[in-house]
Amino acid sequence: MNPEQEQEVVDIFADGACKGNPGAGGWGALLRCGNSSKEIYGGQANTTNNRMELTAVIRALEALKRASCVRVHTDSQYVQKGISVWIHDWKRRGWKTADKKPVKNAELWRELDELAAQHQIDWIWVKGHAGHPGNERADALANLGVIAGRNATDASDMPL
């Protein structure tokens, strides 16, 4: 890509939270590009932490209006390794694990895989609860989502 065609990079900080596992869950994401930013969050009444981690990234990618260069920052090794390493074998095995069991959350992995194919993405793992500002904000948004989840509503795109 020559410099005239370079796109700005969209940084996505995504996180999930769950009070009880399963229990009330929330997801949150902070999207930044240049001087612009957007915060989104939502929740579910009865879910798992891994489902919320995946949902945070899915909803963030859905919020992009066009194919983009993206850096997804997540504190979930399940998400980071799942989408960049494990998914290839799952797909090859027909969405089965190495021990021939169905992949958990396969419908979310398929959705994430389809969305990720529309963008150029670097998957970056960050240590959670370690003071990283983007990750801390995504965590706070996910916890707002837990409140929405307890009320069995989806607070996606609610004004903050």
Percent of the chain with pLDDT over 70: 91
**Average pLDDT over every residue of 45-65:** 97
> Choosing from 25, 39, 42, 53, which is the catalytic residue?
53
The answer to whether residue 154 is catalytic is no
Confidence of residue 152 (pLDDT cuts 50, 70, 90): low
The answer to whether residue 23 is catalytic is no
> Choosing from 39, 139, 145, 149, which is the catalytic residue?
139
Q: What is the pLDDT of residue 151?
A: 76
> Choosing from 16, 28, 42, 43, which is the catalytic residue?
16
The answer to whether residue 99 is catalytic is no
Predicted TM-score of the model (pTM): 0.90
> Choosing from 4, 94, 99, 129, which is the catalytic residue?
129
Q: Is 134 exposed, middle or buried (0-12, 13-18, 19+ CB in 10 A)?
A: buried
The answer to whether residue 136 is catalytic is no
Measured CA distances, 80 to 7, 28, 76, 85, 112 (Å): 23, 16, 6, 8, 12
Q: What is the pLDDT of residue 2?
A: 43
Question: Which residues neighbour 23 within 8 Å (Cβ) at sequence distance 6 or greater?
Answer: 46, 47
The answer to whether residue 139 is catalytic is yes
pLDDT tens-place string over residues 116-149: 999 999 999 999 888 899 999 999 999 999 998 8
Please report the domains of the chain, with CATH numbers, ordered by start residue: 11-150 (3.30.420.10)
The answer to whether residue 16 is catalytic is yes
